[in-house]
Chain A
Amino acid sequence: MKKLLLYLLFSTIGLVLFAFSLRTGIVQLHSSLWSLLTQHTGVDATTVWQIRLPRALGAVVIGGGLGIAGVMAQGIFRNPLAEPTLIGLSSGATLGTITVISSGAATYGSRTNAASAVLFAILAAVLVQLLAPNKGYGFLLTGIALSAILTAMAGLIISISSKPGIQSLAFWNFGSLSLLTNHTLQVIAPFIEVGVIISFFVARRLDAYSLGETSSHYLGINPKRLRLLAIIAMAFLVGASVSAVGSIAFLGLLVPHIVRLLVGPAHRRMLTFSAIIGATLLLLADLLARTIFQPHEIPLGLITSLIGAPLLILLLRTKQSQWVAND
C-alpha cells in the first residue's frame, strides 16, 4: 500500500515536471498545451513538438535508463560505490562516440554512433573484467584506472582532430539534452529498451547474487553469465545515452540509494522505481539547467552534481539507507 502510494506520488511529480518542460523556455507559448495536442503548425506547435518534446521525452528515457543502470551496477558488484561511470562504461561510450565522429564514419545522433558507443562500452567493461584481480575492490579500482585512460584518449582525439566543430563535443562531455531531436530519440530508444528488458530478466538472480558468489552458485546461478548479462544491459543503457547526450554525472550513483531507502533492496521493485525516480530527477535537472540563467544554458552534468551530491550526503546520514556492514 505504501509502495503503491509512492509509485503514484513520483509518477505524478514526473508528469507535472514533464508538462512544465513542454511549457517553459525562451519562447513564450501563446496557446495552451491542450490546444497544441492536435495542432502541428505555427511557432508554438513547432517549439513544443520539435524542440521541447524530444527533450522532455529524452529526459524520461535517458533518466530512467541511467537509474536502472545504477541499480544494475550496485547489484552486480555488490557495492554501494559502484556506478556505470566508475567501471569504464561511460568513458568507453564517450571514446566510441568521439572515435566514429572524428573519423567521419558517422554523424552525431546516427545509429552507427549509438551502436559504436554501446560496443565500446561493452569492450571497456570486458577489458576491466580481464585486467582486474579477482579480489576485494580490484574490480572497481581497475575500472577507475581504465576510465581515466579512455577519457584521456577521447580528450586527445578531440584536441588533435582537424574536423571542424568537434571542440563543441567538449561541452557535450558534461552532458546536455540540448542536442536531442526526435530522430536521435528514435535511434537510442530501442537500445535503451534492450537494456531495460535484460535488466528485468536478471532481477531475481541479482537478489540471490547479493547473498554472495558461492551462495548464488549453490542456488543454481552461474555468476559469470549473470555478470556478463548485467554488463551488456548496462552498456546498452549507458552507451545509448552517452552517444546522444554525453555523460551525466551522479544520476547512476544517486538513484539506487534513494530507491533502496523508499522500497527496499529487492531488485525487480528497485528497477521499476529507479526508472521513475531517474526520469523525474533528470526532468528536474534539465528544467533547471535551461531556466536558471536564461537565455544561457548550464551543462546538465553541473546541475546533477550540484543537486545530486548534497542529496547523496543527506541520504547517507539517514539511518536506514546504509548498506549494512557486517561488523
Chain B
Amino acid sequence: MIEIKKISFAYGDNHIFEDFSAVVSNKCATLLGGPNGSGKSTLLQLIGGVRAPDSGSIVINGHAISNLKTKEQAQLRSISPQRRIFELAFTVKEIFAVVKPKQRASHSGEIFEALDLYELFEAKVTELSLGQQQRVSVALALIQRAEYYLLDEPLSAQDAIYTQKLLGLISILSKTTGILVISHSTGHIAQYFDENIYLS
C-alpha cells in the first residue's frame, strides 16, 4: 500500500497540496483524475522521490520513501513519466536494455507482445511516431520488477486500439500489483478501474 500522509506542497506561493492524504492499494487499479494544474503529475513526482513534500510523508509498504535510496525506491515502484527525452538514436531494444535482466519483471514478454513492440526492436527510437514513443516509454516502466506501477498520462497519444490494449494490460497487472494511472479525461475509462482519486 502507498500511503500519502497529510502532505503539503507548494511551488512558491502556489499551494498545490495542504494536508492531503490518500491511499493507493495493492492488487488494485486506481485512476487519478483532475483538471490541468491540480497537481496530478506533482503527486507522482512526490511519490517518485524527485520532489519532497514541505510536510507530511509518503510511505510505500511501510517504508518512508525519504529514508530509501534511489535504487531501493525503484525496487518498490516503477514510474512512467509524462515525458522521456528521446534525442539520441538508440534502437528500441537498446532502450529496453537499460533495465538489467535481473531487474526485469517476469511479465516483460507479455508487455512487448501486447503493445506490438517486438516489431519495433530494431527501429531507432528517434524515428518513431509520438504514439510509438509513448508505448516504448510506458513499456519501459512496466518491464521493471516492482510492486506498484505509476503511469503519468499513458494514453494521451494512443489511438482507440492501443488505448484498449493498454487498459487490458492494466486490468491484468492489477490482479498482482498496484497500479495508478493519471488521466485528465477520466470519464470514458473509469469503468476499467477499481478506485478513483480526484484532485480539484
| A interface residues, Cβ below 8 angstroms from B | 78, 204, 207-208, 210-212, 214-215, 217-222, 260, 264-266, 320, 323-326
Contacts and interface: CB of A to CB of B under 8 A. Distances in A.
B111 to A, nearest CB: 16
28 contacts: A204-B100, A207-B94, A210-B87, A211-B84, A211-B85, A211-B86, A211-B95, A211-B98, A212-B83, A212-B84, A214-B45, A215-B81, A217-B49, A218-B78, A218-B81, A219-B98, A220-B70, A220-B73, A220-B103, A222-B70, A222-B71, A260-B88, A260-B89, A264-B91, A264-B94, A323-B88, A324-B88, A326-B86
Contacts of B140: 219
Given A220-B73, A264-B89, A207 B48 contact: no
Nearest to B90: A265
Contact of A220 (B75, B94, B95): B75
Main secondary structure of the interface of A (DSSP, over half): loop
A219 B100 contact: no
Nearest to A208: B98
Contact of A324 (B45, B97, B126): B126
A259 to B, nearest CB: 12
B107 to A, nearest CB: 18
A316 to B, nearest CB: 15
Contact of B90 (A204, A222, A264): A264
Contacts of B157: none
Contacts of B84: 211-212, 215
A78 B87 CA distance: 9
A221 B98 CA distance: 11
B161 interface: no
B72 to A, nearest CB: 8
Contacts of A204: 97-98, 100
Contact of B99 (A217, A219, A260, A264): A219
B50 interface: yes
Contact of A207 (B78, B86, B98, B144): B98
B141 to A, nearest CB: 7
Contact of B50 (A78, A214, A266): A214
Given A212-B85, A218-B141, A324-B89, A266 B94 contact: yes
Given A204-B100, A211-B98, A218 B79 contact: yes
Nearest to A226: B70
B46 interface: no
Given A212-B81, A214-B50, A214-B81, A222 B88 contact: no
A204 B96 CA distance: 11
Contacts of B97: 204, 207, 266
Given A212-B84, A324-B126, 8 more contacts: A78-B87, A204-B100, A207-B94, A210-B88, A212-B83, A215-B81, A218-B78, A325-B87
B144 A219 contact: yes
Nearest to B133: A326
A265 B45 contact: no
A190 to B, nearest CB: 30
B69 interface: yes
A264 B91 CA distance: 9
Contacts of B100: 204
B199 to A, nearest CB: 20
The 5 A-B pairs with the shortest beta carbon distances in the complex, nearest first, are A220-B74, A265-B88, A208-B98, A218-B79, A212-B85
A222 B95 CA distance: 18
A260 B98 CA distance: 18
A324 B87 CA distance: 5
A201 B90 CA distance: 20
B81 A219 contact: no
Contact of B70 (A212, A217, A266, A323): A217
